[in-house]
Amino acid sequence: MTLLAPGLSTQLHPSVTSRIPNELYDAVISHFHADKPSLTTCTLVCSSWLPRARHLLLTSARITRHARARSFLELISAPRNLGTFAPVIRSLEIYSSARVNPKAHVQRLPALKRVYVSCVARYFGPGKCLQIAEWGAWFRPRAIQLTDLALGHATLGELLEFVEMLPEFEALRHLALIGVNWLDASLPSNEAHGEMRFPDIRSLILSGQSIHLVPYLSAHGVSITKLDLRVGRHKSDEVLAREAEDIHQYMCLLAPNIQELDLHDGSYQG
C-alpha cells in the first residue's frame, strides 16, 4: 500500500498493512461516501481498496442515449465484470432518448433498488400500448427488492391489472406514475381486493388517470405520508372543479397520515 501526502509518497511494507483491520479501511473509505474525487483516489490506493470504494462510487446508472445503453449493457454483461460493476449499482434511470427495452438491464443488476424509466413509447413506437404483463416482465426479477419505482410518459393497458401486480413489490416505498395514459383506468369496488396485501407505499407521485390510485390504496390500508399530484394545464373550468373536488376527497382520506402534499400545475419533465 502507498500512502500519499503533499509532496510525499511512502510505500508501507505488507507486514505493516496486514495488521491493519479491514474495518478501519472501511471506515476511512466510508468517510468519503459523498466525495467522488476522494473515492476515485481511494480506488487507486491498492487492490483491496478498489471494491470498497467502487461500492460507494458506482451506485447509480443514468442512460440517456441509445449507444450508451448498448455500451452499458455490454459492460455489466462481460464475464470479467460480473463481480465488479453490476453488483454495486442500486439505481437505474433510462430516459426517452435511449430508446431501449430496460428488461435486460434490470435483470443484470442484482442489487437494484430504484428504477426510473421514461417514455418507453420511443422504444415500442408511437401509439404503441405497453401491456402490463410485458411491463411486469421487466421488473419481476427484482420485484421483491425494489424500493423506488417510477414510470413516465407511456401508454399502458389496464390500471386494475397494474394494481393486481403491486403486491409482488413487497419492499416498494415510493411509486411514481407521471404522464401515464391507461386504456382502462377503472378500478373495482374496495371489497374486490379485500384480502390483497399491498406493499407499504409511503410516497406517491401521480398525474392524470393514475390519481385514482390514491383513494383505492388508502382504502386498502396503505398509509401514504407524501403525495405529489401533477395537475395538467389548459383544462376547462368544469374539469378543474372536478379535480379540485377529488383532491379535497383525497385529503380527507389521507388526513390521519399525510405529512407532505405537493400540487403542480403543469406536466412533469422526465
Per-residue pLDDT band at 270 (split at 50, 70, 90): very low
Give the pLDDT confidence of 53-102 residue by residue, as tens digits. Answer: 777 777 888 888 777 778 888 888 887 766 777 888 889 998 866 567 78
Q: What is the pLDDT of residues 185-206, one digit of tens each?
A: 888 865 555 577 899 999 999 9
Model pTM above 0.85: no
User: What is the amino acid identity at position 122?
Assistant: R
